[in-house]
Amino acid sequence: MLKKIISFTLITFCFSIAYSQKKKSPTAPGIDEKVEALLQKMTLDEKIGQLNQYTGDWEATGPVTNSGNKLEDVKQGKIGSMLNVKGAKHTRALQEAAMQSRLKIPLLFGLDVIHGYRVTFPIPLAEAASWDLEAIEKSARIAGTEAAASGIHWTFAPMVDIARDPRWGRVMEGAGEDTYLGSLIAKARVKGFQGKGLGNLDAVMACAKHFAAYGAAIGGRDYNSVDMGLRTLWEVYLPPFKAAVDAGAATFMNSFNDINGIPATGNSYIQRDILKGKWGFKGFVVSDWGSIGEMIQHGYVKDNYEAAEVAINAGSDMDMESRSYINNLAKLVKEGKVKEEVINDAVRRILVKKFELGLFDDPYRFSNEQREKKTLNTPEFLEAARDVARKSIVLLKNEKQVLPLSKDLKSVALIGPLVKAEKDMQGFWSIDWGKEDHLVSLYEGMQNQAGKTRLLYAKGCEISDTSKAGFAEAVSTAQQADVVVMAMGEKYDMSGEAKSRANIHLPGNQEELIKAIQATGKPVVVLLMAGRPLVFNWTADNVPAIVYTWWLGSQAGNAIADVLYGNYNPSGKLPMTFPRSEGQIPIYYNYFNTGRPAKDDNDLNYRSGYIDMQKSPRYAFGYGLSYTTFEYGNLKLSDTNISGNKPVTVSFTLKNTGNVAGEEVAQLYLQDMVARPVRPVKELKDFKKVMLKPGESTTITFTIDKEKLSFYNENLEWITQPGEFKIMIGSSSDAVKLDGSFTLVD
């Protein structure tokens, strides 16, 4: 086959270290000079202090290295940043201590503002299901605005790790399995957090994490090793990080895992060659919690001294909570193992951000209690949270039109362990506000909209226990109602960091309870509230209506009631494939075809499948229903050949053929039919979310240029190859409604 390399070579395996490039930076005028002037005044110890980050005494998310007096360390300039300190009052008090240090270098305050600060938004995986980039950006914008008003300068978000394994608890923090969708969402979130730019009082620094490939932990077990070919790394796992750099992300966080035997924290190829070299990233890299010291457990270094040497030389600028830098860097410099210029480069990167944030002009500018009070938890922010929450909901099944519920129903039974849940619907990585916290439960949300309908309630069972003591009451409650709505799922700490599960079935005996209620013969709606794709085959086969609500945050109950009553027509589409069984994992839509593809689930004769289970997923990537129906037609291509730089445009009509207004996410997939190396059976290349009134139709156009046809070859060159490409347009990755093809001529 004629191969034509049209683009540049992405990887030069040069080990030249990017720290020496003191090139022109895009910083605001004068900042570089100010940084240099300050650097001149700093002792080596003061420089190392800037690279040191400790947790405050707020909420630890890892093992705390609790020795010494942190306040005293701040006064002596031994700490450059603190995490887990929040609130204008607390941040101000610590900043006052920093102002007692010799050079008065302000502290940076970082926090995991993952899905909201005071107002909790849906978990990121849920928001990804909205496929609504504007709403996602807005949610990050509000989170950033609230956090900045509360003294926070820096969020450890977005997490942009691609994840193809729902056993991994941290899937809840990301945008799911797809690189294209994930890259757009990474960009939207970075833009949202950083707003109009650092220096504005409502902007926080974003932090793209976890660099890199953390989502590919073997067996879905958190912190585990990653064994991955470089082509997959470049093609599937790195693009969302590149998108974050392009969107101006101020910082990166590295990851706990090793990649092919080299811990990411000590990985010069990842941090120096790719991030700071090839991509020209000018911000700084913080380690993950203790990950520098953890290289000892990895078996990569023998002690903290060696850990500090390896990490700083590999491009990890700031040490989060391992104390390796503060305890060892000075000696390493004196002994010539680390060049002072390496330290200077890391310090410069951090000081630039402190200047950009305006902290040298006024270290307290983010710590203003009045502004904090005015900004947090406003009705406008709560309304935005409700809006994105309902957009994140995915309707999986709706037979016999059980949904939407009629307002004329006499009674609805609300059954299940999550009907009155608050914290559990808020989800992992939400910020604890103690007594001030209020989350609209499903029960409350339903009360707000039920009108004359009587709401009955029975818990039925706990989330994960095995007792059936509550079943009888639940069944009798169901028998008294016209319709039953069941709230089932995971507890808030069943998905999240270190929350990997080998068994991702609905926990406890919840599915048994569903069977008992379904047996009453009443119309049943099952709501699934979870931080990951779950397995629930009996429910999927037998219950007429299933709604995946994920964990939706502060306005969960209102948003779900909006959907149940049809005040909002669901439009979410799954950002991850749902398996039928853990045995199918990893499972994702953009796989290679193999030499013996099964044509369907029954095609088992020496075919690639399972003899004891279908190979198809339970629900495919991109899947989600609406209360209305859509018709796709009239596919037109501007040309059947692409040559030169002229793109092909594909257009088609989309019509709302049902009785209510609704939104559809029309998806474009491509397949490169013959290529070396082989290409996936389909890849998402574009999508459009459109709202149509009943009977209304619109023309949707996608543009396909060579960039969309490019991929990495075995030498990691970004290329296209001439030949035939198949176009597939549909409502999900497994529901192709229109197809066609074109040829790339040169």
Q: Out of 273, 288, 317, 424, which one is annotated catalytic?
A: 288
Nearer to ligand BGC, 178 or 288 (CB): 288
223 forms part of the interface with ligand BGC (CB under 6 A):
no
Pick 156 or 630: Cβ nearer ligand BGC? 156
The smaller minimum CB distance to ligand BGC, of residues 174 and 730, is found at: 174
131 vs 154, beta carbon nearer ligand BGC? 154
Determine the Cα–Cα distance for residues 634 and 379; give it in Å rounded to an integer.
Answer: 44
Distance CA 353, CA 283 (A): 8
Secondary structure, 3-state, 414-483: EECCCCCCCHHHHCCCCCCCHHHCCCCCHHHHHHHHCCCCEEEEECCCCCCCCCCCCHHHHHHHHHCCCE
Torsion of CA 605, 608, 612, 618, to 10 degrees: -130
Encoded one letter per residue, x for contact with ligand BGC by CB under 6 A and - for no contact, window 36-65 reads -------------------------xx---
Q: How far apart are CA 623 and CA 735, in angstroms?
A: 8
* DSSP one-letter string for 565-588: TTSS------SSPBPSSGGG-S--
Q: Which of residues 78-117 bind ligand BGC (CB under 6 A)?
A: 83, 112
The interface with ligand BGC within residues 302-341 (CB under 6 A) comprises: none
Please tell me the distance from the alpha carbon of residue 415 to that of residue 422, in angstroms, as a whole number.
Answer: 15
Task: Tokens for 560, please give them.
Answer: 């779900």
Taking the C-alpha atoms of residue 152 and residue 95, their distance in angstroms, rounded to an integer, is: 12
Q: Report the 10 Å Cβ neighbour count for 376.
A: 18
User: Can you spell out the DSSP letters for 217-265?
Assistant: -GGG-TT--B---HHHIIIIISHHHHHHHHTT-SEEEE-SSEETTEEGG
- Tokens 């944030």 locate to 357
How near is the Cβ of 501 to ligand BGC at its closest, in Å?
Answer: 18
Q: What is each CA distance from 472 to 404, 481, 485, 539, 621, in whole angstroms?
A: 27, 15, 17, 19, 37
Does position 497 interact with ligand BGC (CB under 6 A)? The reply is yes
Quick one: which H or E segment has residue 395? strand 394-398
Determine which residue in the list 138, 141, 189, 209 makes contact with ligand BGC, applying CB under 6 A. 209
Q: How far is the CB of 123 from ligand BGC (least distance, A)?
A: 14
Which one-letter DSSP state was computed for residue 351?
A: H
Cα angle for residues 325, 329, 331 (degrees, 5° grid): 140
By CB under 6 A, what part of segment 62-81 binds ligand BGC? Answer: 62
Nearest to 317 by CA among 289, 340, 285, 290: 285
The region, left, alpha or beta by phi > 0 then psi within -120 to 50, assigned to residue 257 is beta
Binding status of residue 532 toward ligand BGC by CB under 6 A: no
CB of 396 to ligand BGC, least distance (A): 30
Give the interface size with ligand BGC as a residue count (CB under 6 A): 9
Phi-psi region of 216 (alpha: psi -120 to 50; beta: other; left: phi over 0): alpha
* Minimum distance of ligand BGC from residue 114's CB (angstroms): 8
289 binds ligand BGC (CB under 6 A): yes
Smallest separation, CB 322 to ligand BGC (Å): 12
Least separation, in Å, of the C-beta of 659 and ligand BGC? 45
Q: Which two tokens stand for residue 233?
A: 């790394």
Minimum Å distance from CB 209 to ligand BGC? 6
CA 145 to centroid of chain Cα atoms: 19
Would you count residue 550 as binding ligand BGC (CB under 6 A)?
no
| Comparison of 61 and 120: residue with beta carbon closer to ligand BGC | 61
Smallest gap from Cβ 168 to ligand BGC, in A, equals: 12
- Binding residues among 563-592 for ligand BGC as defined by CB under 6 A: none
Q: Is residue 253 within 8 Å of residue 208, measured between CB atoms? A: yes
112/664 with CB nearer ligand BGC? 112
By C-beta, is 268 or 291 nearer to ligand BGC?
291
- Could you tell me the smallest distance in angstroms from the CB atom of residue 553 to ligand BGC? 19
User: Please, what is the minimum distance in Å from the beta carbon of residue 179 to ligand BGC?
Assistant: 20
Give 3-state DSSP helix, strand, coil % of the chain, rounded to 5.
30, 20, 50
Look up 562 and say whether it is catalytic.
no
**What is the distance between the alpha carbons of residues 266 and 285, in angstroms, rounded to a whole number?**
12
- Exposed/middle/buried for residue 273 (C-beta within 10 Å: 0-12, 13-18, 19+): buried
Identified binder of ligand BGC from the candidate list 165, 288, 294, 562, rule CB under 6 A? 288
CA pair distance 262, 299, nearest whole angstrom: 10
Using the minimum distance from each CB to ligand BGC, give the nearer residue, 111 or 517. 111
Among 54, 109, 156, 725, binds ligand BGC (CB under 6 A): 156
Closer Cβ to ligand BGC, 156 or 355, answer by number: 156
Q: Which residue's CB is nearer to ligand BGC, number 62 or number 662? A: 62
Nearer to ligand BGC, 320 or 421 (CB): 320
**Minimum Å distance from CB 84 to ligand BGC?**
7
Tell me which residues touch ligand BGC (CB under 6 A): 61-62, 83, 112, 156, 209, 288-289, 497
Tell me which residues are annotated as active site: 288
